[in-house]
Structure 1
Amino acid sequence: MTDRPTDLSSLPSYRQPWRGLFSARKFALMASVVAGLGVAAYGLSPQGAQLDLFSTSAHAQVANEVSKVARPVGFADIVERVKPSVISVKVNIAEKVAKNDSDDDTPFQPGSPMERFFRRFGGENGIPGMPGRGGRGGGRAVTGQGSGFFISADGYAVTNNHVVDGADKVEVTTDDGKTYSAKVIGTDQRTDLALIKVEGGSNFPFAKLADGKPRIGDWVLAVGNPFGLGGTVTAGIVSAVGRDIGNGPYDDFIQIDAPVNKGNSGGPAFDVDGNVVGVNTAIYSPSGGSVGIAFSIPASTVKSVIAQLKDNGSVSRGWIGVQIQPVTQDIADSLGMKKAEGALVAEPQADGPAAKAGIRSGDVITSVNGEPVKDARELARTIGGLAPGASVKLNVLQKGQEKTISLTLGKLPNTIEAKADTGGDNSSPTRGADVPKLGMTVAPASSVAGAGKEGVVVTEVDPKSAAADRGFKEGDVILEVAGKSVTSAGDVREAINAARNDNKNSVLMRVKSGGQSRFVAVPLAKG
């Protein structure tokens, strides 16, 4: 309201009679409300004594009460309650590291294009499987340090897989400075989670995993053991949700801007109610230090994974046996889809549940048990969250027709290797026939050593062509064009002309490259 001053210094002097818009009774009421004095009668102090608004002491009292209202609330009460549940995790590994000369702590496989941008934040002396900073080579003990938190009073605690993976010895230090031995109950490499059990103690303070999902903009508190300094708390907000950082098909990270550093790995991110919304596991860091971009595993993922680790020591995931890829807008247009949604089946694996149920290359899986599938990652997470042996119904777009296909999930193998064709050398394919307006030449696969018998091999690509823009390179094998198998340049031209006659803006090709199949939508030039 405009008739109330925002600064006490703007009020008339206490030595002058009260004039203008404010009466003494009005100001007394205003002071009571703003300062939270809860005074029912006008002009009374909190003690019930008459308040002289024209005295220096009254002016000071009102100013003091108003300043209390303006003071920030802070997180001290929350921290005092949750910090005892957070632990420091130290591991020792006897390992030969002569072949590993890197000091980098990264969440990605060596050679990954993201490796130099994303960093794990294990201990200052390295992480399991990595050499310490004191030297390289030889057989010696490697130490690592991270964080974790109790989830039950009997000593079960959560941390990251990469903190304890391969550890010979695990020790935890609690917030009160006590040290205990711990054993690894189970680990899950795909989500980078681990469950440990602290021995020799009981009635530990523990944290509760949040039931709901955080919203972008919510406050979060990161608690951990950065650089081995001991329990440290930082605050920030949720910057984003559903982040994919290229770590695997189950990426669904919460991004936070609370500063986290080496040693925070495995520590919790709390909400303002004191519940764990995520487990801090990676940071974006070109330099190795915090730049305000950290990633946490959501509590919902932690709950499902830890439950299996506690019961079985490992995680079993459902599997349908398909190689999938996202549906881009170009691909959606080629398939006559209104929206670029769902997961495109690049290739069903032989004898897998999907292949047995009738799912084919080029099908688009649009929902699982009636729940829409937004993209390929969501399909992987949904199927992976179901138990092997479960029956599911998939809605599938197959050659323009919607179908419902029922199948029984298999068990996701621990390792799935791509079957690359190594039958010969295809580094120097013979020159083939031109494919008009696409900027590449092709030859029958059967005429090129090591290319197999199906499809046509790309023998040359114009670097300024549409084919080059879509990632085609020499040696790629085109298996299908517009849903039809091709064995010659004539088959390719015929399929392209048919797509043009149907007024298609692009044509969908199934391409095999490096043993992996994928679909590529190639735009068609007019004319």
Structure 2
Amino acid sequence: MLKKLRWCLFLVILINHNAWAQVPNLPQMVKTKGAAVVNVSTTQKAPPESDKLPNDQQLPEGLPPEMEELFKHFFNGPGGDYIPRDTQSLGSGFIISQDGYVLTNHHVVKDADEIVVKLSDRRELLAKVIGSDARTDVALLKVDANDLPVVTIGSADKLEVGEPVFAIGSPFGFEQSVTDGIVSAKGRSLPGGNYVPFIQTNVAINPGNSGGPLFNKDGEVVGINSQIYSRTGGFMGLSFAIPMDVVMNVVSQLKSTGKVARGWLGVQIQDVTRELAESFGMQRPQGALVSKIIPGSPAEKADLHIGDIIIEFNGKEIETSGELPPMVGMTPINENAKLKIIRQGETKTVPIMIGLLPEQEEKLAEAQTEDKPSNKLGISVVELTGEQREALDVAKGGVLVKNVANGPAKNAGIQPGDVILRIQGTVIRNVSDFNKSVSNLPVGKSLALLVQRRGNPMFLALKIDKN
């Protein structure tokens, strides 16, 4: 019995030792790594004094000179002269090379006329932008100096959820502030961050921390602190960092060309919900559901279809749609890749050549509502006019939803102004196709509807509970 107790005590000590071994020695880490963390301050020069009013207001045309002076006095206050002021902001950054390359966020230096990098030894150096990428929110700066302290670059791929991490930065201008926490999640997809699988942490990040480093337990930089989720403007326990694997891919391109080229399939995708998985005959929700294929894109040339579900990219599983864009974006242009897809219940492998992501503008459109619903879905639809097709970016087919009443369609999230393109695999070319398809829809089964909303296609799951 005593022998067993000794063994138990030994195991408890061993487990505790291993747990403590995972916790970084923060004071030592800060001493050795903090010197490479910098404060980044920017200035945006105000335009020279002119006849412009504040907030870009314009004087009415044709005013006599005495009335112009009266307007200026009214808007600009006593004295009558509007004095423009420079705009200043603060952020963080870190040095990645002894000859002066510095990393920070794109949004920290965007539109800046002057950038000053303040080192931990109080030196202040003017910096120039080598390149900046809005999609990943990464900017590469250069200062004229040598023998600078540098960080050690690590890999976010090796991070584990629950692993301790810490940040050094300048929240609210308080330089060399240290906060710590753990990795809360990996591979987070955020609005506007399609090409970044963010690291989520509970490290306290506040305004001024942007662009600063996120360190792992070994003192390696594994991410750039970029965003927080907050309802107050301050830290609420959710912060997000750009993985260094993504960052260094961007850095190499910014150094060589000053801009970033990304891989592109030419599809719009969405998550597979439980209802959509049921409608497609899948055992569980998985993959990226193709809702649109861009004409002339690699996807069209590879014969991908709307309704295909991409479950693997080059052998890597795709659990959610947000995992696919970063993988494709980091793949070299004109490189051959393989997609594993589910098409009408069958698994297929599709070879595809990665294209170059073009700059595209979203087209937004709104539709007016009138008619009352007259079918079991609870919606009314009409044919699209030529002007509506151009405004809504619908080349052919489809019907325009004019009104939505209480019923299956409203429950599924269909809205006035949506264009219905397909119902459970059936292409809807006109109102006649729509009416015929709706009349044959089964009851009590999840159905997949492809709609286009303000230029963006998406699948919605719909179920008719009764006739």
Which string of whole-angstrom CA distances, capped at 9 and with x for unpartnered residues, describes residues 38-69 of structure 1? xxxxxxxxxxxxxxxxxxxxxxxxxxxxxxx9
Question: Is the 8 Å Cα contact of residues 24 and 218 (structure 2) preserved in structure 1?
Answer: no
The answer to whether structure 1 residue 205 and structure 2 residue 149 are counterparts is yes
Structure 1 letter corresponding to 2:423: V
Structure 2 letter corresponding to 1:427: Q
Deviation at 1:429, TM superposition (A): 4.7
Structure 2 letter corresponding to 1:513: R
Residue 224 of structure 1: which of 158, 169, 180 is its match?
169
Secondary structure in structure 1 of the residue aligned to 2:45: strand
The answer to whether structure 1 residue 441 and structure 2 residue 380 are counterparts is yes
Change (3 A) 1:524 1:388: same
Please tell me the root mean square deviation across aligned C-alpha atoms, in Å: 2.9
Distance in 2, Cα, partners of 1:215 & 1:351: 40
The answer to whether structure 1 residue 427 and structure 2 residue 368 are counterparts is yes
Match of 1:461 in 2: 404
Match of 1:361 in 2: 306
Distance in 1, Cα, partners of 2:412 & 2:46: 44
Change (3 A) 1:411 1:99: farther
Match of 2:70 in 1: none
Change (3 A) 1:225 1:309: same
Question: Is the 8 Å Cα contact of residues 431 and 442 (structure 1) preserved in structure 2?
Answer: no
Distance in 1, Cα, partners of 2:213 & 2:346: 47
Distance in 1, Cα, partners of 2:444 & 2:437: 11
Deviation at 1:214, TM superposition (A): 2.1
Match of 2:100 in 1: 155
The answer to whether structure 1 residue 418 and structure 2 residue 345 are counterparts is no
Structure 1 letter corresponding to 2:233: G
Secondary structure in structure 1 of the residue aligned to 2:39: strand
Distance in 2, Cα, partners of 1:466 & 1:244: 30
Distance in 2, Cα, partners of 1:217 & 1:377: 22
Question: Is the 8 Å Cα contact of residues 431 and 443 (structure 1) preserved in structure 2?
Answer: no
Match of 1:372 in 2: 317
Match of 2:76 in 1: none
1:343-358 aligned within 5 A: 343-358=288-303
Change (3 A) 1:420 1:260: closer
Deviation at 1:95, TM superposition (A): 4.5
Deviation at 1:285, TM superposition (A): 2.4
Match of 1:302 in 2: 247
Match of 1:88 in 2: 39
Distance in 2, Cα, partners of 1:90 & 1:449: 49
Deviation at 1:420, TM superposition (A): 5.3
Deviation at 1:74, TM superposition (A): 5.0
Match of 1:117 in 2: none
Change (3 A) 1:404 1:238: closer
Distance in 2, Cα, partners of 1:350 & 1:73: 52
Which string of whole-angstrom CA distances, capped at 9 and with x for unpartnered residues, describes residues 463-489 of structure 1? x32211222122322121111122455
Aligned residue-pair number:
415
Distance in 1, Cα, partners of 2:83 & 2:426: 57
Match of 1:259 in 2: 204
Change (3 A) 1:73 1:351: closer
**Identity, % of aligned positions:** 37
Change (3 A) 1:475 1:283: closer
Secondary structure in structure 2 of the residue aligned to 1:276: strand
The answer to whether structure 1 residue 515 and structure 2 residue 455 are counterparts is yes
1:37-76 aligned within 5 A: 75-76=26-27
Distance in 1, Cα, partners of 2:211 & 2:239: 12
- Give the TM-score, by structure 1 length: 0.72
The answer to whether structure 1 residue 328 and structure 2 residue 266 are counterparts is no
Distance in 2, Cα, partners of 1:488 & 1:143: 56
Change (3 A) 1:75 1:426: closer
Distance in 1, Cα, partners of 2:147 & 2:296: 50
Distance in 1, Cα, partners of 2:249 & 2:388: 45
Higher relative contact order (CA 8 A, sep 6+): 2
Distance in 1, Cα, partners of 2:284 & 2:54: 52
Match of 2:71 in 1: none
Question: Is the 8 Å Cα contact of residues 24 and 217 (structure 2) preserved in structure 1?
Answer: no
Distance in 1, Cα, partners of 2:344 & 2:167: 49
Which structure has the bigger radius of gyration?
Answer: 1
Deviation at 1:228, TM superposition (A): 1.9
Distance in 2, Cα, partners of 1:449 & 1:256: 48
Structure 1 letter corresponding to 2:32: R
Change (3 A) 1:363 1:95: farther
Deviation at 1:496, TM superposition (A): 4.5
Change (3 A) 1:73 1:207: closer
Change (3 A) 1:75 1:475: closer
Question: Is the 8 Å Cα contact of residues 334 and 504 (structure 1) preserved in structure 2?
Answer: no
Deviation at 1:79, TM superposition (A): 1.1
Distance in 1, Cα, partners of 2:330 & 2:247: 12
Match of 1:524 in 2: 464
- Give the TM-score, by structure 2 length: 0.81
Question: Is the 8 Å Cα contact of residues 456 and 487 (structure 1) preserved in structure 2?
Answer: yes
Distance in 2, Cα, partners of 1:85 & 1:207: 6
* Range with bigger deviation, 360-369 or 151-160: 360-369
Match of 1:473 in 2: 415
Secondary structure in structure 1 of the residue aligned to 2:199: strand
Change (3 A) 1:475 1:282: closer
Deviation at 1:83, TM superposition (A): 0.7
1:168-207 aligned within 5 A: 168-199=113-144, 201-207=145-151
Structure 2 letter corresponding to 1:456: V
The answer to whether structure 1 residue 406 and structure 2 residue 406 are counterparts is no
Change (3 A) 1:482 1:95: farther
Match of 1:292 in 2: 237
Secondary structure in structure 2 of the residue aligned to 1:140: coil
Residue 450 of structure 1: which of 380, 388, 393 is its match?
388
Whichever structure has more helix as a proportion of its residues is 2
Deviation at 1:166, TM superposition (A): 2.1
Distance in 1, Cα, partners of 2:108 & 2:200: 20
Change (3 A) 1:467 1:100: farther
Residue 314 of structure 1: which of 250, 254, 259 is its match?
259
Distance in 1, Cα, partners of 2:176 & 2:363: 48
Distance in 2, Cα, partners of 1:285 & 1:389: 40
Distance in 1, Cα, partners of 2:446 & 2:56: 47
